[in-house]
Amino acid sequence: MRSLAALLLLASTAACTTMTPDAPPQTMVAPILTSTDARDTATYARPEVARVTHVDLDLALDFAAKTVGGTATLDLLTAPGATEVVLDDRGLQISRVTDGGGAELPFTVGQSVEGRGAPLTIAIGPGAERRRIAIQYTAAPGAEALQWLAPEQTAGKAQPFLFSQGQAILNRTWIPTQDSPGIRQTWRARITAPKPLTVVMSGLKQGETEDLGDRRAFTYAMNKPVAPYLIAIAAGDIAFREIGPRTGVWAEPATLAAAHHETADTEKMVVAAEKLYGPYRWGRYDMIVLPPSFPYGGMENPTLTFLTPTFIAGDRSLNGLIAHELAHSWSGNLVTNANWSDSWLNEGVTSYFENRIIEALYGPRRASQEAALSFAEMEGELAKAGPDNPETALHLPDSVAGPDAGLGGVIYDKGAVFMRTVETIVGRPRFDAWLRQWFDNHAFQPATSAMILADMKANLVGNDPALAQRLMLDEWIYQPGLPANAVRPNPAAFAEVDAAAAAYGTGGGVPQAAWAKWTTAERLRFMAKLPRERTAAQLGALDQALGLSNEGNDEVLFAWLQLALANRYEPAVPLAEQFLARVGRRKFVAPLFETLMGEGEWGQPLARRIYATTRPGYHAVTTVTVDKLVLKKD
Ligand code: BES
Ligand code: ZN
């Protein structure tokens, strides 16, 4: 007898085009993994019983009510004997569920768990292997994936704006589906919005925009199976400008020129990425520069990367962000972590790939500087976590797993160092050939740590026990801390800056002339190497010499504010306040509030006062983190 898993895997190869109202079209269905290590503990879905293979959304955006609602029609692939399908639901208001013939289906919403939502169990009864159900629903007004911006929160100040952030498990707040990275789905969406707003999504535009009087309808589709966290939407007064034949950028009209200038190398990046690890398989690579409340630096939504405007420095020095999100088109979107314990497969491999793109475009000097910055950050995080902390492994064990687990940056930086270490030991040509076959052989499929480890052993190490010993693969993936064979950054990368920082630290003057010539990476290195304790007079002199209060690069400005606030430097408070009111990117906002909260009776009242005014402007991703820091909420 064939196992259920085998049956479902077999179904994945079926390609037939018949269609009846009950039976959805049988297009490509991605396989699912059924091994224990692939299990996603953050989903309620039981894909081995019944799984969603396609999502069809017909939704209206309601900017007055700050909600979205309509119908989600799901194609299901069911195992023999299946009588129910379980979806993930966080706060959805469901009015009706029907089958392919329009008959009502009973459903229940189970016990809700904080941050995860509840299982939505729909009784589908016995029936065909493939069928279709339709869910009529509205997302809750506070749906965590979505941020509805008032006109004042945009650059244009005239129109409202909406954007979504799905990763890791937020899409269940606005889409009723199986919200697990191991359950890939194709999708299509028809979205209506009031004029003059334009809707964009993480898929390709279908047909012409429909004119509905005071509203318009936009249709997008993704015909390759993707993890559902990658379904994304943005709507606002936005315009598009082409970069290359398959690349371009969206932004508010007021931001478009700066956005276009900063993203101008993107087509070259796609060419470089393809040369490294194979064809770009998603058609277009467009970007949207969002208003500054976007909680991340970037998000790799397929065909449409979402970006913070804080990467716009005027000189493209922070466009490693684009290289990063682009690299996810392979590591993450093509080959996807099957669950959130293995996020390093997305973020670590991508951070390595990002650096290779930077090297290809701008040369080894900038690449080695950025790698050295990342290495130093990793060392800091490892030291903070302490030895043997299980959260510093690449594969996060079940005890610390979960969509928000792990020490943020460790999986990024340590994952990149792991890849660089393997590259150095086996040699670049051999490493590149291996990584390319990994992407090719697992394209459009989920993957786990155990799988990449087995693949490296089979396709990179082979029958070479001495090489296996030198690589220390198991230790890299499963043990905390930094393995002894880690390749260290090139000490030459920052020789000059480090010498300047050391001289300044031992009483020398501020290296004003050198600073003027330094790159962004060099300036960030200098800021990181400064003595942490400074007097008000020293900070004043530093600010005067380097013009830090007028800094236009938000990464450098952030580094300055961190240093200033940690030293209770009063003159920097108004600037910190302005920054926290302007920017909602969690990577900047959370550490600044953390610093203030660490400054006792000086910083804590300040943090509470500032947060009371800035909190309403932040996305839920940022408020969830900062609430814990400032409001001490769990
Ligand atoms: N995919 C991540 C963002 C993310 C990770 C969202 C985990 C939710 C859960 C994105 O690619 C990312 O890593 N962004 C970084 C970019 C940086 C490393 C260049 C960011 O936002 O800072
Ligand atoms: Zn990433």
Examine the domain organization and report whether 132 and 207 are in the same domain: yes
With a 6 Å cutoff on the Cβ, whether 297 touches ligand 1 is: yes
On whether residue 296 sits in a domain, the answer given is no
Examine the domain organization and report whether 171 and 81 are in the same domain: yes
The letter for the amino acid at 596 is: L
Specify the pLDDT at position 16. Answer: 36
Examine the domain organization and report whether 451 and 380 are in the same domain: yes
Examine the domain organization and report whether 231 and 138 are in the same domain: yes
Specify the pLDDT at position 208. Answer: 98
pTM, to two decimals:
0.96
Specify the pLDDT at position 227. Answer: 98
* Cβ 96 vs Cβ 159: under 8 Å: no
With a 6 Å cutoff on the Cβ, whether 619 touches ligand 1 is: no
Nearest ligand to the C-alpha atom of residue 296: 1
Angular region, 136: left φ>0, alpha ψ -120 to 50, beta rest: beta
On whether residue 441 sits in a domain, the answer given is yes
In testing the pocket of ligand 1, which one of 299, 300, 306 has its CB within 8 Å of the most ligand atoms?
299
On whether residue 313 sits in a domain, the answer given is no
Task: Please determine, for residue 18, whether its predicted confidence score (pLDDT) is greater than 60.
Answer: no
Examine the domain organization and report whether 360 and 463 are in the same domain: yes
pLDDT tier, 633 (very low <50, low <70, confident <90, very high otherwise): confident
Atom of ligand 1 nearest to the CA of 343: 7
Mean pLDDT of 56-66: 98
Protein residue with its CA nearest to atom 2 in ligand 1: 299
Examine the domain organization and report whether 442 and 570 are in the same domain: no
CATH of the domain at 613: 1.25.40.320
Atom of ligand 1 nearest to the CA of 354: 19
- Among 164-178, 379-393, 402-416, 459-473, the range scoring the smallest mean pLDDT is 402-416
With a 6 Å cutoff on the Cβ, whether 298 touches ligand 1 is: yes
Neighbouring-strand partners of residue 286? 248, 304
From the CA of 300, how far away is ligand 1's center (Å)? 8
Q: Six-digit token pair at 539?
A: 């900070």
On whether residue 285 sits in a domain, the answer given is no
Atom of ligand 1 nearest to the CA of 320: 19
Percent of all residues in the chain with a pLDDT value above 70, rounded to a whole number: 94
End of a domain among 237, 264, 281? 237
What are the Cα distances from residue 460, in Å, to 331, 425, 438, 471? Answer: 18, 11, 11, 10
Task: Please determine, for residue 535, whether its predicted confidence score (pLDDT) is greater than 70.
Answer: yes
What are the Cα distances from residue 171, in Å, to 93, 194, 615? Answer: 14, 23, 22
Task: Please determine, for residue 8, whether its predicted confidence score (pLDDT) is greater than 60.
Answer: no
On whether residue 379 sits in a domain, the answer given is yes
Give 366's contacts (C-beta < 8 A, 6+ positions apart).
358, 359, 519, 521
CATH of the domain at 108: 2.60.40.1730
pLDDT tens digits along 256-295? 999 999 999 999 999 999 999 999 999 999 999 999 999 9
Protein residue with its CA nearest to atom 14 in ligand 1: 298
On whether residue 483 sits in a domain, the answer given is no
The mean pLDDT of the chain is 95
On whether residue 469 sits in a domain, the answer given is yes
pLDDT tier, 31 (very low <50, low <70, confident <90, very high otherwise): confident
In testing the pocket of ligand 1, which one of 226, 296, 329 has its CB within 8 Å of the most ligand atoms?
296
CATH of the domain at 404: 1.10.390.10
With a 6 Å cutoff on the Cβ, whether 324 touches ligand 1 is: yes
- H/E stretch holding 376 reads helix 364-385
On whether residue 283 sits in a domain, the answer given is no
Examine the domain organization and report whether 588 and 444 are in the same domain: no
Examine the domain organization and report whether 561 and 426 are in the same domain: no
**Exposure b/e, 533-552, CB count within 10 A at least 16 = b:** ebeeebbeebbeebebeebe
Specify the pLDDT at position 162. Answer: 99
pLDDT tens digits along 327-355? 999 999 999 999 999 999 999 999 999 99
- H/E stretch holding 477 reads helix 473-478
pLDDT tens digits along 577-609? 999 999 999 999 999 999 999 999 999 999 999
Examine the domain organization and report whether 446 and 543 are in the same domain: no
From the CA of 296, how far away is ligand 1's center (Å)? 6
pLDDT tens digits along 403-430? 665 567 899 999 999 999 999 999 999 9
What are the Cα distances from residue 410, in Å, to 144, 371, 559? Answer: 25, 14, 19
Neighbours of ion ligand 2 (CB under 5 A): 347, 350
Nearest ligand to the C-alpha atom of residue 297: 1
From the CA of 343, how far away is ligand 2's center (Å)? 9
Examine the domain organization and report whether 468 and 574 are in the same domain: no
pLDDT tier, 397 (very low <50, low <70, confident <90, very high otherwise): confident
End of a domain among 210, 237, 264? 237
Specify the pLDDT at position 29. Answer: 83
pLDDT tens digits along 159-198? 999 999 999 999 999 999 999 999 999 999 999 999 999 9
Q: Provide the domain count of the chain.
A: 3
pLDDT tier, 30 (very low <50, low <70, confident <90, very high otherwise): confident
Torsion of CA 31, 34, 40, 46, to 10 degrees: 80
Examine the domain organization and report whether 169 and 56 are in the same domain: yes
With a 6 Å cutoff on the Cβ, whether 188 touches ligand 1 is: no
pLDDT tens digits along 303-315? 999 999 999 999 9
End of a domain among 204, 237, 270? 237
Specify the pLDDT at position 53. Answer: 98
Specify the pLDDT at position 404. Answer: 66
Examine the domain organization and report whether 95 and 228 are in the same domain: yes
- The range of the structural domain enclosing residue 445 comes to 330-478
With a 6 Å cutoff on the Cβ, whether 587 touches ligand 1 is: yes
Task: Please determine, for residue 26, whether its predicted confidence score (pLDDT) is greater than 90.
Answer: no
